[in-house]
Amino acid sequence: MIYLDNAATTPVKPEALQAAWPWLTSEFGNPSSQHELGFRAKDALADARARVAKFFNAKASEIIFTSGGTESDNLGIVGLALAMPRGKHIVSARTEHEAVLQSLDYLQRVHGFEITWLPLDEFGQVSGLEAALRDETTLVTLMVANNEIGTLHPIAQLCAIAHARGALFHTDAVQAVGWVDQNVAELGVDALSISGHKFGAPKGSGALFLKGRTAAEPLIHGGGQESGLRSGTENVAWAVALATALELLTPAAAAAERVAKLRDDFIRSVLQATPNAILTGHPTNRLPNIASFCFDGVSGEALLLELERRGVIVSSGSACAAGSDEPSHVLTAIGIDAELAQTAVRFSFAHDTSAEDLQNAVGALSRAFEGFK
Amino acid sequence: MIYLDNAATTPVKPEALQAAWPWLTSEFGNPSSQHELGFRAKDALADARARVAKFFNAKASEIIFTSGGTESDNLGIVGLALAMPRGKHIVSARTEHEAVLQSLDYLQRVHGFEITWLPLDEFGQVSGLEAALRDETTLVTLMVANNEIGTLHPIAQLCAIAHARGALFHTDAVQAVGWVDQNVAELGVDALSISGHKFGAPKGSGALFLKGRTAAEPLIHGGGQESGLRSGTENVAWAVALATALELLTPAAAAAERVAKLRDDFIRSVLQATPNAILTGHPTNRLPNIASFCFDGVSGEALLLELERRGVIVSSGSACAAGSDEPSHVLTAIGIDAELAQTAVRFSFAHDTSAEDLQNAVGALSRAFEGFK
């Protein structure tokens, strides 16, 4: 099996599971308990928090553990929007992940917020942020890297523009961790979301970076865990696994350099091998590990099945739309018509994807196309 | 070690971890992915959901997996309150868990809800529900069993009263699972919260029963997982662990009968051995596995330490208030003064707690009191 669906989910790293193991077995204390078993769990949680913070060049007090990227996005957007008394205006883009779009929809429906959607070019790059900002703009939320087409946003620059007008900035970094350096001090963002299962930690692990003293209304209210921002008995094991998986990542720059070269070779080979292939997203300003195409005249679903028969596991787009038959909202937002969008296939790589894997994938793709003739 | 803090958290059952194992290792698919790896994860999730539903005599479509009891309470309360157009009035009691109280506080602060608090007797039993209900009452939320003093509420009866006036009924069953039969068809409730780590599933697992066709506004918006009510890539492993841990529970009636007898013997012995002990909560209408006391004139924290030195692990009350120095809100709500409330100690048993464990605990308690003289 050649697994090229790493943007959907990744295998748990054995070291992450091993590090979590004691906290699933003998060390089962509740971190809030006032006895040794509880104190040890509390210490493990604090240690995991410090390690996650270090990865992002943040303070430990700025890391909130959550149950995943979607929860992090909701807390980073709804939480900040409800706590910021400035106004009810938010700026975003229609290529964001559903976790962002549906959080914004909730703020519109239930809390009367207004959303300004930034213009997008054919590659999924935004423009016009400065013009979209108002005195009552509470928040700007734009992702680091798109999960379907891989296009990158210049977060530090966008964040500076938002801050100059007094708006907060949240970014969904779920797809970027391990591929683009996420130094929050350099990015300047007020909140940043990550999801463990995208980089070798288990499903159900995640975190939100929230810059010191930024007020947020919790999504989940209760006993006051996670500095009052995310109540509920802490999932110590998954916090430890998350920290461990982060530390095991190759430095982003090194991983990016190697895999970006593989990606470029792969894109070239696919465009050569299949004349009806069209690259989606930006040709160069994109995640090193995502190569995404539309294959004019071919059903993405059918192609996915043919590739799977040949041992190559890919996706027809985002896994997160839960088996929906709708064309990708990302592709339609960048001007691709619904019919062509139905032909989308995303190849997403891991740190250990090899040149040989990708040669084999191109071979499988060519043979699949032979079958369609 | 004699662990008598099972109401705070429980060890994960090895069988639950073993059942989860494939979904943490080779079977790492995203349940939304349209390939075999994803389909198998989706099937495992569906199977777990059916098994959890069976435990509660519910339909599979009525089970929503969450990250724990606190999230379940928030979704069951905030989610129902925001989706029910009837009005902005809720009825509850001040002895509820912080997850309930803080959800209600949020609805008051942010959404303008009004809360009516039911009268409580000295044992923590509520009265006056019928009189508290109004035409605009959206929801009644009352727990099955109190987590600090163990007192039980007659849920089926309270629920029928609420329904007769058209209000929905949510119950926090976090402490009751495994001890009091939670047959939702018999209880009649619209929503019921459970937390995996209270009965041998891992921390970070939980579920909400939501009766068919009951509308709810999600807390966590996104890709539409869990029937649109709880977005985010599903934690398949913990769903499987939760289902497995539930099935491993001794039938509630059998466990209750055995342990209630131990509890009664224990309470008698404690009252004999320590003249300043006062039982909190109802003498008989209480969870089989909670024996809770105030020890007039003795610091609960100091006693906890003395017991721990002797290998007996207990709690000074709820673990969920995260090391707070405040007296228990439950004890003050039932009329115990703040000073006496600071002397609280809770002993909470497991299905496998033995008579010998409890004799040893009484012995440790007597010796600890010797030391205080």
- What pLDDT, on a 0 to 100 scale, did the predictor assign at position A326? 83
Q: Find out whether B315 and B346 touch, Cβ atoms under 8 Å.
A: yes
Answer whether A217 sits within 8 Å of B323, measured CB to CB. Answer: no
pLDDT in tens, B248-286: 998 889 999 999 999 999 999 999 999 899 999 999 999
Give the residue numbers of B annotated as catalytic, written as ranges: 320
Coil, strand or helix at B292 = strand
Together in a domain, B164 and B242: yes
Which residues of chain A does B11 touch, with a Cβ-Cβ cutoff of 8 Å?
Answer: 25-26, 28
Q: How confident is the model at residue A322 (pLDDT cuts 50, 70, 90)?
A: very low
Together in a domain, B264 and B239: no
Q: How confident is the model at residue B324 (pLDDT cuts 50, 70, 90)?
A: low
Give the residue numbers of A annotated as catalytic, written as ranges: 320
- What pLDDT, on a 0 to 100 scale, did the predictor assign at position B120? 98
Q: Does A11 touch chain B (CB under 8 A)?
A: yes
B123/chain A closest Cα distance in angstroms: 23
- Taking only residues 12 to 41 of chain B, the set having a beta carbon closer than 8 angstroms to any beta carbon of chain A reads 12, 17, 24-26, 28-30, 32-38
Q: Does A342 touch chain B (CB under 8 A)?
A: no
Beta-bridge partner residues of B210:
B191
From the list B36, B203, B316, the residue facing A237 with the nearest CB is B203
Together in a domain, A188 and A270: no
Answer whether B36 sits within 8 Å of A308, measured CB to CB. Answer: yes
Residue B278's Cβ-count burial label (10 Å; 0-12, 13-18, 19+) is middle
- What pLDDT, on a 0 to 100 scale, did the predictor assign at position B63? 98
Whole-number CA gyration radius for chain B? 21
Together in a domain, A243 and A183: yes
Disruptive mutation site among B21, B30, B328 for chain A (greatest number of A CBs within 10 Å): B30
What is the average pLDDT value for chain B, to the nearest integer? Answer: 96
The count of structural domains within chain B is 2
Together in a domain, A85 and A51: yes
Together in a domain, A80 and A225: yes
Asked if residue B320 has pLDDT above 90, the reply is no
pLDDT in tens, B167-210: 999 999 999 999 999 999 999 999 999 999 999 999 999 999 99
Asked if residue A130 has pLDDT above 80, the reply is yes
Task: Please tell me whether the overall predicted TM-score, pTM, comes out greater than 0.95 for this model.
Answer: yes
- Which positions ≥6 away from B352 have C-beta within 8 Å? none
% chain B with pLDDT above 90:
92
Together in a domain, B127 and B86: yes
Together in a domain, A54 and A170: yes
Answer whether A204 sits within 8 Å of B12, measured CB to CB. Answer: no
Question: Mean pLDDT lowest for which of A68-72, A112-116, A299-303, B202-206?
Answer: A299-303
Asked if residue A321 has pLDDT above 60, the reply is no
Coil, strand or helix at B312 = strand
Evaluate whether ipTM surpasses 0.85: yes
% chain A with pLDDT above 90:
92
Q: Does B316 touch chain A (CB under 8 A)?
A: yes
Structural domain including B289 reads 2-8+251-372
Which residues of chain A does B319 touch, with a Cβ-Cβ cutoff of 8 Å?
Answer: 30, 32-34, 38, 233
pLDDT in tens, A203-258: 999 999 999 989 999 999 999 999 999 999 999 999 999 999 999 998 889 999 99
Disruptive mutation site among A25, A220, A240 for chain B (greatest number of B CBs within 10 Å): A220
- What pLDDT, on a 0 to 100 scale, did the predictor assign at position A101? 98
> What tokens were used for A298?
């071919």
Specify the CATH number for the domain of residue B89. Answer: 3.40.640.10
Q: Does B321 touch chain A (CB under 8 A)?
A: yes
Q: Does A70 touch chain B (CB under 8 A)?
A: yes
Of A193, A225, A248, the one marking the end of a domain is A248
- What pLDDT, on a 0 to 100 scale, did the predictor assign at position A301? 85
Q: Find out whether B300 and B358 touch, Cβ atoms under 8 Å.
A: no
Pairwise CA distance, residues B78 & A91, whole Å: 27
Angle between helices A236-248 and A36-55 (to 10 degrees): 30
Of A213, A248, A283, the one marking the end of a domain is A248
Answer whether A320 sits within 8 Å of B233, measured CB to CB. Answer: yes
A365/chain B closest Cα distance in angstroms: 16
Specify the CATH number for the domain of residue B268. Answer: 3.90.1150.10
DSSP assignment of B112-169 equals --EEEEPPB-TTS-B--HHHH--TTEEEEE--SB-TTT-BBP-HHHHHHHHHHTT-EE
Together in a domain, B140 and B85: yes
Answer whether B237 sits within 8 Å of A202, measured CB to CB. Answer: yes
Pairwise CA distance, residues A105 & A371, whole Å: 43
Asked if residue B233 has pLDDT above 90, the reply is yes
- Taking only residues 117 to 176 of chain A, the set having a beta carbon closer than 8 angstroms to any beta carbon of chain B reads none
- What pLDDT, on a 0 to 100 scale, did the predictor assign at position A371? 81
Together in a domain, A266 and A278: yes
Together in a domain, A265 and A175: no
Range A31-55 average pLDDT: 97
Phi, psi of A285 (to 5 degrees): -80, 65
Pairwise CA distance, residues B21 & B27, whole Å: 9
Q: Does B98 touch chain A (CB under 8 A)?
A: yes
Answer whether B223 sits within 8 Å of A197, measured CB to CB. Answer: no
Question: Mean pLDDT lowest for which of A4-18, A81-95, A121-135, A324-338?
Answer: A324-338
Range A115-124 average pLDDT: 98
Q: Nearest-CA residue of chain A relative to B5?
A: A33
Q: Which residue has the higher pLDDT, B326 or B367?
A: B367
Pairwise CA distance, residues B284 & B304, whole Å: 25
pLDDT in tens, A139-171: 999 999 999 999 999 999 999 999 999 999 999
Answer whether B38 sits within 8 Å of A301, measured CB to CB. Answer: no
Asked if residue B323 has pLDDT above 70, the reply is no
Answer whether A220 sits within 8 Å of B38, measured CB to CB. Answer: no
Together in a domain, A51 and A98: yes
Asked if residue A320 has pLDDT above 90, the reply is no
Asked if residue B322 has pLDDT above 50, the reply is no
Q: Does B217 touch chain A (CB under 8 A)?
A: yes
The Cβ of residue A268 has, within 10 Å, a number of other Cβ atoms equal to 12
Alpha helices, H only, A90-170:
98-111, 129-132, 155-164
Which residues of chain A does B204 touch, with a Cβ-Cβ cutoff of 8 Å?
Answer: 67, 204, 235, 237-238
Q: Find out whether B78 and B219 touch, Cβ atoms under 8 Å.
A: yes
Question: Mean pLDDT lowest for which of A154-168, B41-55, B217-231, B304-318?
Answer: B304-318
Of B187, B222, B248, the one marking the end of a domain is B248
From the list A33, A232, A323, the residue facing B67 with the nearest CB is A232
Alpha helices, H only, B176-251:
184-187, 236-248
Question: Edge-to-edge strand order for the sheet containing B191-195?
Answer: B63-66, B206-210, B191-195, B168-172, B137-141, B89-92, B114-117
- The residue count of chain A comes to 373
Asked if residue B318 has pLDDT above 80, the reply is no
Q: Find out whether A198 and A174 touch, Cβ atoms under 8 Å.
A: yes
Answer whether A24 sits within 8 Å of B69, measured CB to CB. Answer: no
